[in-house]
Amino acid sequence: MDNPFGKITTLERVLELFHNRMTIMFGGFGGVGSPPALIDGILEKGVCELTLIGNDTGFPDIGIGKLVSRERAVKVIASHIGSNPIAGQLIHDGKLEVEFSPQGILAERIRAGGVGLAAILSDIGMDNELVSKEKPRVQLGGKDYLIETALTAEVSIVFAKKADEYGNLIYDKSARNTNPLVAMAGEITIAEVEEIGPLGSLNPEEIITPGVFVDYLIPSKGVNWKWAWE
C-alpha cells in the first residue's frame, strides 16, 4: 500500500503503543463516537492499571465501559459514570478512583491541554466544598476563581467517519461529540476511521480535525480501504 504520509497502519501495530499504567484519553459519549476496534484491541492485549480520561464510563459492554467493567482502569477522569453501574461498584469497593469534572469544564480542560495551556480558570463549584477543597484558587479582577488543570494523555483514541491520507478527519453527526478535543490533547493520537480517501477527496469545509493532530489511522471493523488507492 502506497502511503506517502506514513499514517495509515494496522491495529496490531498501534497496539504496541499501549502498556500498563499509561494514560489514555478517549472520544465518545455513552459509547457513541468511541473507537470499537481500538478499545477491543486494548482489552485483548491485557493492559491494565490505566488512567482513562473522557466524558463518561460508557455502559458495561459498550465503549470504554468494557475496559472499566473488566477492572483495567485504576483511575477515571470523567463528567459522570451513571450509565455504568459496575463503575459505581468499583468505587465502592475501593478498586477505582474517579475524578469528577463538570462536562463543560472537562471539555475545556481537554481543549486547554490540546492548545498547550497549563490550566483554565472557573468559578463553577466555588461554594461547594466537595468540588473546591483540593483545588488552588486565584484572584483576578477582584473575583476568586478555581484553577482547573489542563488534561493531556500519552495516547488519545478517536473515532471518525472519514479521513484522507494526511489524517484530516470528518465525524458523523452526534458521534463527533468530544472527539475533536480529544484528538488535540494526546502526545500520540490514533484515529479509527470508517472510510478513507486520497488527498483532496474531502471537502475542506467539512474537515473538523486537521491532520496535523493525527499520528496514525487504522480501519474500523469490517472496513476495506483498498479502494482508496485503486
For residue 50, give the H/E element and its range. strand 50-53
Site of grid cell 484530516: 168
pLDDT attached to residue 230? 44
Average pLDDT over all residues of the chain: 92
- pLDDT (mean) for 151-158: 98
pLDDT at 78 over 60: yes
- Which has more confidence, 229 or 47? 47
What pairing do the DSSP bridges indicate for beta strands 169-170 and 186-197?
A: unpaired
- pLDDT (mean) for 82-98: 96
The pLDDT > 90 percentage for the chain reads 87
The pLDDT > 70 percentage for the chain reads 94
pLDDT attached to residue 191? 98
pLDDT attached to residue 223? 60
Q: How confident is the model at residue 2 (pLDDT cuts 50, 70, 90)?
A: very low
Class of domain 11-117+151-229: alpha beta
Task: Report, in angstroms and rounded to the nearest whole number, the Rg of the chain calculated over CA atoms.
Answer: 18
- pLDDT (mean) for 39-59: 97
Rounded CA-CA distance 191/182 in Å is 10
Backbone torsion region of residue 108, taken as left when φ is above 0, otherwise alpha when ψ lies between -120 and 50, otherwise beta: alpha
pLDDT attached to residue 133? 77
* 113-150 per-residue burial string, b: 16 or more CB within 10 A, e: under 16: bbeeeebbebeebeeeeebbeeeeeeeeeeeebbebeb
Is pTM beyond 0.85? Reply is: yes
Single-letter amino acid, residue 32: V
Question: In whole angstroms, how far apart are CA 201 and each of 41, 195, 197, 204, 208?
Answer: 29, 11, 6, 9, 14
Rounded CA-CA distance 18/14 in Å is 8
pLDDT at 50 over 50: yes
